[in-house]
């Protein structure tokens, strides 16, 4: 029998070339975090004191004045917004999401209203915030934001993500300038970002990171920034944050993951991942109807991905059918397919165990060869993808 825990409990042994996706378990947890969690799990600790220790590590790594660990980056958004609304008023904290003051509006660019598995504006509403959208989906100008800020504005949220519109919107430094001119704190959602210091350096008051994506810690979120705002966000653990709590193992695991980040061979990892990309590109180059392009990350994280562009007429299979076939196969290979209606998907190299890169290359060849051998073009209507997208979860647990 395989030593893979997934096959032992009846799960598919998927290979993840989609990226740091929560739906796939986010990332490979680093050995240092696993060891830390194992060491602290049998012991009792005073959680607030452990969070004080985490605060010092987070502050050192991010340049913030203080920090703490919560359940997820999404939780961090809610806690930071709540902090801006309630301050340190313990009664107001208990009453959320009902708010005593009209100062609960939160500025958000329309092009930043994205879903990371749930809508970003829902994380704001959970905290009692009222989202005020500024600009249009593809354009926000200074006058949009300047005129949206009133005496009711509690905070402004800025989202850094490959999902947002990446042109025509306000840059973070300009967003901060406008908000700070009117005394409004800026909260940055940087869940999947590699640079732990950039956004505070650009003027944000609170920045939220995932502890379990690039860092390779346990499922968690990191809140960092100005001490008073971070403290007020931490106080939300006496209110809405109770349902977003983390255990001792997550706090200590994130501390270990952060300290491991300081020592990580980032250039060596980049070199290894580049080798994977080159292997996949060589596998695909010259195949009819397939174009493989190595492209940089859209938010300037230090990694590249392979864009696989498919012409169904020549390859005898559509991009979405090829993505689905890879995901159904043995072993299942899950690609980054959120833009597949544009006839391409991505291969992300950052979450592979040694040797899996060759399995991915083999699976690509197998499915493309199978399609070319077919007399018919495999091209199911793209509308079917939308129609059946949520069938699995709607039928869960069956």
Q: Which of 232, 263, 294 is the last residue of a domain?
A: 263
pLDDT digits (tens, 9 = 90+) for 25-55: 888 999 999 999 999 999 999 999 999 999 9
**Residue 18 in domain:** no
Instruction: Give the residue ranges of the chain where pLDDT is below 50.
Output: 1
The number of C-alpha atoms within 13 Å of 354 and in the hemisphere containing its C-beta is 1
Same domain, 341 and 197: no
Same domain, 167 and 310: no
Please report the pLDDT score of residue 375 as a whole number.
82
Closest CA to 247 of 268, 220, 274: 220
Same domain, 206 and 284: no
Same domain, 239 and 277: no
H-helix or E-strand spanning residue 335: strand 333-335
Same domain, 243 and 388: no
Per the CB < 8 A criterion, the answer to whether 215 and 36 are in contact is: no
Same domain, 85 and 159: yes
pLDDT digits (tens, 9 = 90+) for 140-191: 999 999 999 999 999 999 999 888 998 999 999 999 999 999 999 999 999 9
Per the CB < 8 A criterion, the answer to whether 206 and 157 are in contact is: no
**Residue 21 in domain:** no
Q: What is the phi/psi pair of residue 384, to 5°? A: -65, -35
Q: Which of 198, 232, 263 is the last residue of a domain?
A: 263
Q: What is the DSSP string of 52-80?
A: HHHHHHHHHHH--SEEEEES-HHHHHHHH
Same domain, 196 and 288: no
pTM score, whole prediction: 0.92
Identify the burial level of 378 via C-beta atoms within 10 angstroms of its C-beta, where 0-12 means exposed, 13-18 middle and 19 or more buried.
middle
Please report the pLDDT score of residue 2 as a whole number.
66
CATH code, domain with 95: 3.40.640.10
Closest CA to 191 of 73, 301, 62, 299: 73
DSSP state of 340: G
Identify the burial level of 89 via C-beta atoms within 10 angstroms of its C-beta, where 0-12 means exposed, 13-18 middle and 19 or more buried.
middle
**Residue 90 in domain:** yes
For residue 222, the enclosing domain spans: 29-263
Per the CB < 8 A criterion, the answer to whether 33 and 24 are in contact is: no
Identify the burial level of 91 via C-beta atoms within 10 angstroms of its C-beta, where 0-12 means exposed, 13-18 middle and 19 or more buried.
exposed
**Residue 2 in domain:** no
**Residue 188 in domain:** yes
């Amino acid at each position: 029998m395989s030593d893979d825990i997934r096959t032992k409990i009846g799960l598919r042994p998927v290979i993840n070339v989609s990226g740091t996706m929560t739906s796939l378990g986010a990332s490979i947890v680093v050995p240092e975090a696993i060891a830390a969690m194992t060491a602290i799990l049998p012991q009792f600790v005073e959680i607030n004191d452990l969070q004080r220790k985490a605060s010092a590590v987070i502050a050192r790594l991010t340049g913030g004045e203080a920090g703490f660990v919560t359940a997820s980056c999404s939780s961090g958004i809610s806690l930071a917004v709540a902090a801006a609304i309630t301050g340190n008023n313990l009664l107001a904290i208990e009453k959320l999401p009902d708010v005593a003051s009209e100062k609960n509006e939160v500025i958000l660019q329309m092009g930043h209203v994205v879903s990371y598995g749930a809508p970003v504006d829902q994380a704001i509403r959970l905290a009692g915030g009222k989202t005020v959208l500024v600009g249009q989906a593809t354009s926000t100008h200074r006058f949009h934001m300047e005129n949206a800020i009133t005496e009711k504005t509690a905070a402004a949220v800025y989202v850094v993500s490959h999902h947002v519109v990446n042109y025509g919107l306000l840059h973070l430094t300009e967003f901060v300038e406008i908000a700070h001119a009117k005394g409004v704190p800026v909260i940055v959602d940087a869940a999947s970002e590699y640079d732990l210091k950039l956004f505070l350096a650009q003027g944000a008051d609170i920045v939220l990171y995932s502890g379990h994506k690039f860092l390779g810690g346990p499922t968690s979120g990191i809140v960092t920034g100005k001490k008073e705002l971070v403290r007020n966000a931490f106080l939300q653990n006496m209110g809405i944050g109770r349902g977003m709590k983390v255990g001792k193992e997550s706090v200590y695991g994130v501390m270990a993951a952060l300290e491991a980040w300081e020592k990580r061979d980032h250039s060596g990892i980049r070199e290894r991942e580049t080798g994977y990309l080159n292997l996949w590109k060589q596998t695909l180059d010259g195949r009819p109807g397939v174009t493989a392009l190595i492209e940089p990350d859209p938010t300037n994280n230090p990694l590249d991905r392979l864009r696989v562009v498919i012409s169904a007429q020549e390859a005898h299979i559509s991009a979405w059918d090829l993505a689905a076939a890879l995901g159904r196969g043995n072993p299942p290979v899950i690609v980054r397919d959120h833009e597949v209606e544009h006839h391409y998907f991505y291969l992300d190299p950052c979450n592979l165990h040694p040797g899996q890169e060759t399995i991915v290359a083999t699976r690509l060849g197998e499915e493309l060869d199978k399609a070319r051998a077919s007399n018919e073009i495999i091209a199911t209507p793209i509308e079917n993808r939308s129609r059946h997208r949520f069938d699995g979860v709607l039928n869960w647990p069956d």
